[in-house]
Amino acid sequence: MEISKELIDAVKAASEEVAGKLTLACAAAFRIAEEQKVSLGTIGRICNENDIKIKSCQLGCFK
C-alpha cells in the first residue's frame, strides 16, 4: 500500500524532538489513524521508516 506524503507529514508534525530523536505519543498515533482512516499498523510503519519512536504506549500496540 502506498502511503501518502500528507499522512507522513501528519505523523511528523505530531512528533516532537526529545534528546535529539523524534517521538510520537501513542495517543497521537491513535488520533492520526482515526482522522486519516488508516490502520495503527500504517502509522507504526511510518514511524519505523522515519526513525520516530512511539512513547507512552497505552495498550502495548507499539513495541
Cell of 47: 514511524
Give the whole-angstrom CA distance, residue 48 versus residue 44: 6
For 29, residues 6+ apart whose C-beta sits below 8 A from its C-beta are 11, 40, 43, 44, 47, 54, 62
- Cell numbers 511528523 correspond to 12
The arithmetic mean of pLDDT across residues 7-22, rounded, is 95
Whole-model pTM over 0.75: yes
* pLDDT over threshold 80, residue 15: yes
The arithmetic mean of pLDDT across residues 11-21, rounded, is 94
Percentage of the chain exceeding pLDDT 90: 81
Type of residue numbered 18 = V
* pLDDT over threshold 90, residue 4: yes
Instruction: Find out whether 51 and 22 touch, Cβ atoms under 8 Å.
Output: yes
- Kindly report, residue by residue over 28-56, the tens digit of the pLDDT: 999 999 999 999 999 999 999 999 999 87
